[in-house]
């Protein structure tokens, strides 16, 4: 029983880091544009397909080169989306239009994927496979890679936001667009870079889940929604909270399978999210800020 | 202002009415058209893609051999988007196009949804839905061209108990109609046998099955059946290996759908209970595989392609035997079907409108080769 | 000039009524009849959504959940107890009142993105419960044999006959919606969207109004769901997914936010356009999505804004002359 619980926690932490990355990826867009990217799960799928379908299986490059090439492609894709879609949507009179716009974008991406790559599920053979055993506990390599890479992404993003000029500009834009414009910051360009970075994080998520799932059109639907739950629990728009929220959801929903039927696992995350919204909409952020 | 809205209202009506001429009149003199309903978009696009391939290949062969009743055979594909509303729209559209018969859909819930429409328009329909619920409909116009879950699931349980000698059987089933139907059948099969069943559900879209697998390990099951869909079986394969569950496992026909996406070492030695193994040494299958590879760049056919290829051939044969495209005549011909050599088995009409009563068990090796194990006929 | 306009209006109304009444005769095709019936049902649901999202500006992305509860309420009541569908419709209205309150209260504390995500989670929980609680709901196998409505012993057993009932209901609900929108309530709804603080300062009880908007929306949504389950005669849980909720938002936006005519137009467009686009075969859903994106960016106020734009364009031309 004890080892079963540890096992569930380990798998929960790995999924938790995925949720955390998902919630970071849309939080930075939300912070800088005030828009929620409802096509973010499709970005993840697209990243996985470009990596596996185009670079590794199509052209046949080494997976590491493939990851880099995919990141560059998706960065450019992010720039195009920012200029073509997010910038006009950002200035719309109602949020509703922006939500519709990103939903439409998501549908276009998933249909385009189906038409370009076909409906057959894909995988990259031998990409981060294998397990380590400690007693009766099994840790897959993919789990370790997910945890390592996630921490790396978090650290790099933090350094970028705190130390570089572009990162500082990004934080200014988050806080006050008018003031940022007056200070000579190019808001549109800052937003463009933010969306491109978000697309890159999506790519990383997409590549990280390749060893976990088969690559198919609906692979990221569930993690997309769970990412929202993670963001809410951590406090919307608050990056450290997003990470803690992701980990919490990953662990709690896995542990819940000990008590209730595993089929209700997804319900658990959503219900926690609704409860948090009703009791304290600011989530963990409220707790942390209060201590200060 | 009001005037503007009135204009808008009129515009909408005009739009509705103008939709009418889009209807394609299918009943041309020199061709016989049948409809195919499959999921082209939506959550199960793969089945639709393969269905189209299978049907198109059969169609090509039939027309090269002179068509049906001396006329060209044509097909109208309709997307059901993997949901019920899409399915109803598709079937009504085909009926209004006056097709002679319908093949598909392969989602059981859609088959049940459209049962009444099919019956009231007397449309011969060759469905691929495998839920046992379909035979309960008692619909005179629905013919099932794939083995019912009663048959495959029962065969899987039979294989586990008799050939593997399992005394404590695990079952991981999808909570939709497909999985729960199979669960019922397996429970029924085990009712009079000394075998304990540990069942755990899984949702479509679940991304982590470690909870279910750990449960199975904690219960020390000796063999396991997985009955669910494509995406989850891929996850199951990986996690079963990572967690180190080493027992014989039989899965539903979903495993072959994603086998290209699974590492071979994960599924080494796994069994699959499905309609047919494409490597069974039987002439119809060998011919079909060869033709399919020639048509589609050396790709190996799978279940849906084979099933709906066979269904198209069966339909053409039934129309030929009926001697007309009258729906009652086609139904009568379908009911007289005896030992028609389909790909996934010999079609024989049965009282419950099933055309098949046997299925195969096959096994994967580490290189993902499909090895034919046995062919089980269920009474 | 004014007299002329009045006569024209009466003429247009009569024409519209005649066209709608003889529509089944014009088309006499089960496929189009089904699509038109679906359009009417969808129009009801979208008119409901319009109260919350269109008028009051509260983001509701869980319409699918409301619709599902209405549909299952009808289906389970009629099939398990053998009661008349009219009672099912009544049950749907009661359910709508309850759900409206239930969803309305969270909206007092939260708004915007939070509300959007809460409603998504609500719809997802409903769907998962309907799928997994299979002893009661029939799970994914669904509920079969939902009876048809009958009026004084006359059963509406075909889609044509059902069309007239749907037409009457849609007309009643549309007129109600129009009345509400152009009444004091409608302006209060709008004031919450535009500036809640100012509205409150003017003595508007925001809490009460928000709950009212949600309740209206949920009642319309549940009625729509109940009518859908009678139209199909069978429902299964895989119909009520996230895509469905989003489709209703798309209908509202493509038609025109805040306008009843726009809602009906949008319902028709989203129900029928993909079916028409099916001539494009493999590409139809992609093309439909692209049309949606173009609308979102260039025509955010939907189809109803088009005649106005054209008129304004002509007027400005006239002036120049």
Sign of the Cα torsion C130, B230, B128, B161 reads negative
C-alpha–C-alpha distance, residues B198 and B196, integer Å: 7
Which of A213, A221, A266 to probe by mutation at the B interface, max B CB count within 10 Å?
A213
Q: What is the DSSP letter of C156?
A: -
Calculate how close chain A gets to B289, using CA atoms only, in Å.
19
Eight-class DSSP state of C50: I
The residues near A224 (Cβ < 8 Å, ≥ 6 apart) are A22, A40, A41, A44
DSSP alpha helix (H) spans, A118-176 = 141-163, 165-175
Q: Running DSSP on this structure, what letter comes out for residue C279?
A: G
The answer to whether the Cβ–Cβ distance between B84 and C238 falls below 8 Å is: yes
For C282, name the nearest residue in chain A, comparing CA atoms only: A115
Q: C269: distance to nearest CA of chain B, Å?
A: 8
pLDDT band for position C141 (cuts 50, 70, 90): confident
Nearest to C259 among B5, B22, B175 (CB): B5
Which chain A residues contact residue C300 at CB under 8 A?
A: 92-94, 97
CB C64 within 8 A of CB C127: yes
What CATH architecture applies to the domain B150-274+361-377?
3-Layer(aba) Sandwich (3.40)
Coil, strand or helix: which one is A281?
coil
pLDDT in tens, A242-258: 889 999 999 998 888 87
Q: Cα–Cα distance between A50 and A57 in angstroms, integer? A: 10
- Model confidence at B23: pLDDT above 80: no
Q: Do A97 and C300 touch (CB under 8 A)?
A: yes
pLDDT at B78 > cutoff 70: yes
Mode of pairing for the β-strands spanning B223-227 and B196-202: unpaired
Cβ contacts of residue B90 below 8 Å, gap of 6+?
Answer: B35, B37, B78, B79, B80, B105
List CB contacts (< 8 A) between C109 and chain A: 277-278, 281
Given a cut of 90, is residue C230 above it in pLDDT?
yes
Q: Which two tokens stand for residue B205?
A: 């879209």
pLDDT level of residue C132 (50, 70, 90 thresholds): confident
Confidence of residue B4 (pLDDT cuts 50, 70, 90): low
Overall average pLDDT of the C137-164 stretch: 86
Q: Do B8 and C311 touch (CB under 8 A)?
A: no
pLDDT confidence bin for B20, thresholds 50/70/90: very low
B50-59 tens-digit pLDDT: 899 999 999 9
Question: Which subunits sit against A, judged by 3+ Cβ pairs under 8 A?
Answer: B, C
How confident is the model at residue B26, as a pLDDT? Answer: 45
**Predicted pLDDT of residue C191:** 85
Q: Is A286 helix (H, G, I), strand (E, B) or coil?
A: helix
What pLDDT was estimated at residue B29?
65
- Who wins on pLDDT, C316 or A77? A77
Measure B43 CA to nearest chain C CA, in Å: 10
Interstrand relation of B168-174 and B223-227 (parallel, antiparallel or unpaired) = parallel
How far from chain centre, in Å, is Cα A261? Answer: 27
Residue of chain B minimizing CA distance to A111: B41
Q: For residue B278, give the 3-state DSSP assignment.
A: coil
Helix (H, G, I), strand (E, B) or coil at A124: coil
**Angle of CA points C179, C182, C183, to nearest 5°:** 80
DSSP code string of B284-320 = HHHHHHHHHHHHTTTPPP-HHHHHHHHHHHHHHHHHH
Q: For position C188, what pLDDT does the model report?
A: 86
Neighbours of C (≥3 Cβ pairs closer than 8 A)? A, B
Domain A2-291 classification at class level: mainly alpha
> Of the candidates A259, A211, A233, A219, which has an alpha carbon nearest to the alpha carbon of residue A16?
A233
Structural domains of chain C, ranges and CATH numbers in brackets: 30-320 (1.10.3470)
Pick from B360, B314, B308, B364: which is nearest to B339 by CA? B314
pLDDT reading at C121 higher than 80? yes
pLDDT value of position A271: 87
Report how many Cβ contacts below 8 Å link chain A to chain C. 111
Calculate how close chain C gets to B312, using CA atoms only, in Å. Answer: 20
Q: Which residues of chain B lie closer than 8 angstroms to A114, CB-CB?
A: 41, 45
More confident position, C91 or B297 = C91
pTM for the predicted model, two decimal places: 0.85
B142 touches B132 (CB < 8 A): no
Tokens of C308: 């106005």
Distance of CA C174 to the CA centre of its chain: 10
At residue A56, the 3 state secondary structure works out as helix
The span from the CA of B12 to the CA of C255, in Å, is 10
Domain ranges of chain B: 31-147+282-348, 150-274+361-377
Task: Tell whether ipTM is more than 0.90.
Answer: no
Closest CA to B207 of A154, A227, A74: A227
Contact C257 A36 (CB under 8 A): no
pLDDT digits (tens, 9 = 90+) for B99-135: 999 998 988 888 998 998 899 899 999 998 888 888 8
Nearest beta carbon to residue A8 from set B210, B258, B264: B210
Q: Which chain B residue has its CA at the smallest distance from C6's CA? A: B3
Residue B30 half-sphere exposure toward CB, CA atoms < 13 A:
2
The full set of domain ranges for chain A reads 2-291
Phi, psi of B72 (to 5 degrees): -80, 140
Cβ distance of B4 and C5 shorter than 8 Å: no
Q: Which of C130, C293, C298, C305 to mutate to test the interface with A (most CBs of A within 10 A)?
A: C293
State mean pLDDT over B13-29. 51
List the 235-264 stretch of C: residues with Cβ below 8 A of A.
242, 246, 249-250, 253, 257
| Mean pLDDT taken over chain B | 85
Judged by CB atoms closer than 8 Å, whether chains meet at A214 and B234 is answered as yes
Chain C: residue nearest A109 by CA? C286
Q: How far apart are CA B375 and CA B356, in angstroms?
A: 13
Residue A189: predicted pLDDT:
87
Q: Is B89 within 8 Å of B299 (Cβ atoms)? A: no
* Residue C108 touches partner A, C-beta closer than 8 Å: no
Average pLDDT, chain C: 87
- A interface test, pick of C52, C55, C125, C134 with most A CB neighbours within 10 Å: C125
Instruction: Name the helix (H) or strand (E) containing A134.
Output: strand A131-134
Compute the average pLDDT of residues C224-239. 91
CB–CB contact C269 B112 (8 Å): no
Distance CA C51, CA C212 (A): 9
Chain A residues whose beta carbon lies within 8 Å of the beta carbon of residue B261:
121-123, 214-216
| 8 Å CB contact of B10 and C144 | no
For residue C139, the 8-state DSSP code is G
Q: Which residues of B touch C19 (CB under 8 A)?
A: 13, 17
Q: How far is CA A126 from the centre of its chain?
A: 24
Report the residue of chain B nearest A255, measured CA to CA: B211
Residue B71 is classified by DSSP as B
Find out whether B214 and B243 touch, Cβ atoms under 8 Å.
yes
Backbone φ and ψ for B364, nearest 5 degrees, come out as -100, 145
Distance separating alpha carbons of residues A270 and A228, to the nearest angstrom: 9
pLDDT at residue B24, as a whole number: 47
- The whole-angstrom separation of Cα C285 and Cα A215 is 21
pLDDT category of residue C2 using cuts at 50, 70 and 90: low
Q: How far apart are CA C168 and CA C162, in angstroms?
A: 10
Residue C282's pLDDT is: 79
Question: Using the beta-carbon criterion (under 8 Å), do C286 and A101 form an inter-chain contact?
Answer: no
User: Which stretch of A48-52, A265-269, C161-165 has the lowest confidence by average pLDDT?
Assistant: A265-269
Placement of tokens 């339909």 in the chain: B315
Measured CA to CA in angstroms, residue B350 lies from B109, B147, B338 at distances of 22, 12, 10
Confidence band (pLDDT; 50, 70, 90) for A153? very high
Q: B353 — alpha (psi -120 to 50), left (phi > 0) or beta?
A: left
Please report the residues numbered 203 through 222 in chain A whose beta carbons come closer than 8 angstroms to any beta carbon of chain B: 211-219, 221-222
Task: Identify the closest residue of chain A to C118 by CA–CA distance.
Answer: A274
Average pLDDT rounded to a whole number, residues B154-162? 90
Band the pLDDT of C173: cuts 50, 70, 90: very high
Mean pLDDT score, B23-42: 75
In sequence order, which residues have a C-beta less than 8 Å from that of residue A152 and are 6 or more positions away?
none
Which residues of chain A neighbour B304 with C-beta distances below 8 Å?
none
Strand residue runs (E) in chain B = 31-38, 72-79, 102-103, 125-127, 142-144, 168-174, 196-202, 223-227, 249-251, 271-274, 340-341, 346-347, 358-364, 370-377
Nearest to A114 among B45, B175, B235 (CB): B45
Task: State the pLDDT at residue C319.
Answer: 67
Structure-token pair, residue B374: 């046995």
Rounded distance between C-alpha atoms, residue B301 and residue B311, angstroms: 15
Say if residue B286's pLDDT is above 80: yes
Find the mean pLDDT for residues A49-65: 89
* For residues B214-224, average pLDDT: 91
Q: What dotted CATH number matches B31-147+282-348? A: 3.40.50.2300
**Quick check: do B31-147+282-348 and B150-274+361-377 share a fold?**
yes
Give the mean pLDDT of C156-169: 91
- Tell which residue, B86, B71, B47, has the closest CA to residue B316: B71
Question: What is the nearest CA distance from A233 to chain C, expressed in angstroms?
Answer: 11
C-alpha–C-alpha distance, residues A110 and A45, integer Å = 8
Higher pLDDT: B1 or C109? It is C109
Report CA-CA distances (Å) from B228 to B182, B253, C128. 9, 9, 16
């Amino acid at each position: 029983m004890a080892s079963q619980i540890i096992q569930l926690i380990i798998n929960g932490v790995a999924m938790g880091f995925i949720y955390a990355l998902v919630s970071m990826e849309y939080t930075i867009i939300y912070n800088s544009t005030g828009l929620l990217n409802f096509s973010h799960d499709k970005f993840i799928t697209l990243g996985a397909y470009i990596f596996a379908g185009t670079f590794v299986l199509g052209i046949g490059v080494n997976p590491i080169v493939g990851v880099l090439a995919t990141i560059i492609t998706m960065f450019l894709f992010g720039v195009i989306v920012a200029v073509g879609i997010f910038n006009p949507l950002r200035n719309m009179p109602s949020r509703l239009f922006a939500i519709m716009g990103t939903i439409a974008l998501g549908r276009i991406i998933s249909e385009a994927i189906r038409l370009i790559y076909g409906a057959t599920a894909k995988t990259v053979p031998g990409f981060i496979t294998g397990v380590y055993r400690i007693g009766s506990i099994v840790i897959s390599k993919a789990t370790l890679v997910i945890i390592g890479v996630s921490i790396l992404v978090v650290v790099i993003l933090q350094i970028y936001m705190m130390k570089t000029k572009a990162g500082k500009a990004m934080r200014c834009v988050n806080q006050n667009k008018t003031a940022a414009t007056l200070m000579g910051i190019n808001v549109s360009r800052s937003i463009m870079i933010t969306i491109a970075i978000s697309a890159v994080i999506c790519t990383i998520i997409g590549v990280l889940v390749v060893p976990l799932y088969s690559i198919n059109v609906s692979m990221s639907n569930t993690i997309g929604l769970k990412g929202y739950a993670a963001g809410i629990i951590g406090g919307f728009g608050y990056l450290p909270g997003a990470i803690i929220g992701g980990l919490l959801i990953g662990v709690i929903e896995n542990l819940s399978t000990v008590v209730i039927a595993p089929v209700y696992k997804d319900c658990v995350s959503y219900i926690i999210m609704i409860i948090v919204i009703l009791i304290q909409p600011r989530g963990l952020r409220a707790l942390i800020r209060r201590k200060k | 202002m009001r005037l503007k809205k009135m204009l808008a209202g009129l515009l909408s009506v005009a739009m509705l009415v103008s939709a009418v001429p889009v209807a394609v009149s299918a009943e041309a003199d020199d061709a016989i058209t049948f409809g195919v309903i499959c999921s082209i978009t939506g959550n199960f696009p793969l089945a639709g893609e393969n269905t189209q391939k299978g049907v198109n290949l059969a169609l090509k062969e039939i027309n090269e051999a002179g068509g049906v009743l001396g006329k060209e055979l044509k097909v109208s594909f309709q997307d059901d988007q993997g949901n019920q509303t899409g399915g109803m729209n598709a079937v009504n559209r085909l009926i209004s196009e006056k097709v002679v018969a319908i093949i598909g859909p392969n989602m059981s819930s859609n088959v049940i949804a459209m049962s009444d429409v099919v019956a009231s328009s007397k449309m011969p329909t060759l469905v691929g839905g495998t839920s046992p619920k379909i035979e309960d409909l008692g619909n005179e116009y629905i013919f099932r061209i794939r083995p019912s879950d009663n048959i495959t699931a029962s065969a899987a349980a039979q294989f586990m108990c008799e050939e593997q000698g399992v005394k404590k059987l695990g079952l991981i089933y999808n909570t939709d109609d497909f999985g729960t139907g199979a669960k019922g059948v397996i429970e029924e099969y085990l009712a009079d046998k000394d075998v304990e069943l540990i069942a755990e559900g899984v949702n479509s879209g679940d991304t982590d099955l470690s909870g279910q697998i750990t449960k199975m390990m904690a219960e020390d099951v000796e063999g396991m059946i997985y009955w669910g869909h494509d995406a989850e079986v891929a996850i199951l394969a990986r996690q079963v290996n990572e967690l180190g569950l080493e027992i014989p496992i039989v899965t539903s026909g979903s495993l072959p759908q994603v086998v290209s996406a699974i590492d071979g070492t994960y599924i080494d030695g796994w069994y699959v209970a499905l309609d047919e193994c494409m490597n069974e040494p039987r002439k119809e299958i060998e011919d079909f595989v060869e033709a399919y590879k020639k048509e589609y760049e050396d790709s190996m056919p799978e279940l849906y392609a084979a099933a709906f290829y066979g269904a198209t051939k069966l339909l053409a044969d039934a129309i030929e035997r009926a001697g007309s495209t009258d729906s009652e005549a086609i139904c009568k011909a379908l009911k007289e079907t005896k030992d028609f050599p389909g790909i996934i088995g010999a079609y024989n009409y049965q009282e419950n409108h099933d055309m098949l009563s046997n299925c195969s068990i096959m096994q994967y090796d580490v290189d993902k080769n499909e090895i034919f194990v046995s062919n089980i006929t269920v009474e | 000039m004014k007299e002329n306009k009045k006569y024209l209006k009466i003429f247009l109304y009569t024409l519209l009524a005649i066209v709608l009444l003889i529509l089944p005769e014009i088309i006499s095709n089960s496929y189009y009849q089904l699509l038109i019936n679906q359009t009417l049902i969808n129009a009801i649901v979208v008119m409901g959504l319009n109260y919350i999202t269109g008028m009051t500006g509260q983001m509701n992305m869980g319409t699918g959940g409301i619709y599902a509860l209405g549909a299952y309420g009808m289906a389970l009541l009629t099939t398990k107890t053998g009661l008349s569908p009219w009672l099912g419709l009544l049950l749907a209205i009661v359910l709508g009142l309850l759900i409206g309150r239930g969803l309305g209260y969270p909206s007092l504390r939260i708004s915007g993105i939070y509300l959007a995500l809460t409603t998504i989670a609500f719809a997802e929980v409903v769907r998962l419960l309907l799928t997994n609680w299979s002893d009661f709901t029939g799970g994914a196998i669904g509920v079969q044999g939902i009876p048809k409505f009958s009026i004084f012993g006359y059963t509406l057993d075909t889609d044509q006959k059902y069309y007239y009932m749907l037409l009457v209901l849609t007309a009643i609900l549309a007129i109600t919606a129009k009345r509400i929108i152009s009444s004091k309530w409608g302006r209060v709804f709008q004031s919450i969207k535009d500036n809640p603080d100012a509205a409150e300062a003017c003595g508007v009880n925001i809490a009460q109004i928000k709950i009212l908007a949600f309740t209206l929306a949920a009642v319309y949504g549940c009625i729509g769901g109940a009518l859908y389950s009678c139209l199909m005669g069978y429902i299964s849980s895989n119909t009520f997914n996230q895509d469905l909720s989003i489709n209703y938002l798309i209908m509202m936006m493509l038609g025109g936010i805040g306008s009843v005519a726009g809602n009906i137009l949008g319902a028709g467009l989203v129900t029928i356009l993909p079916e028409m686009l099916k001539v494009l075969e493999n590409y139809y859903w992609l093309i439909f999505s692209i049309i949606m994106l173009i609308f979102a960016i260039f025509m955010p106020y939907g189809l109803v804004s088009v005649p106005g734009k054209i008129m304004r364009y002509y007027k400005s031309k006239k002036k120049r002359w």
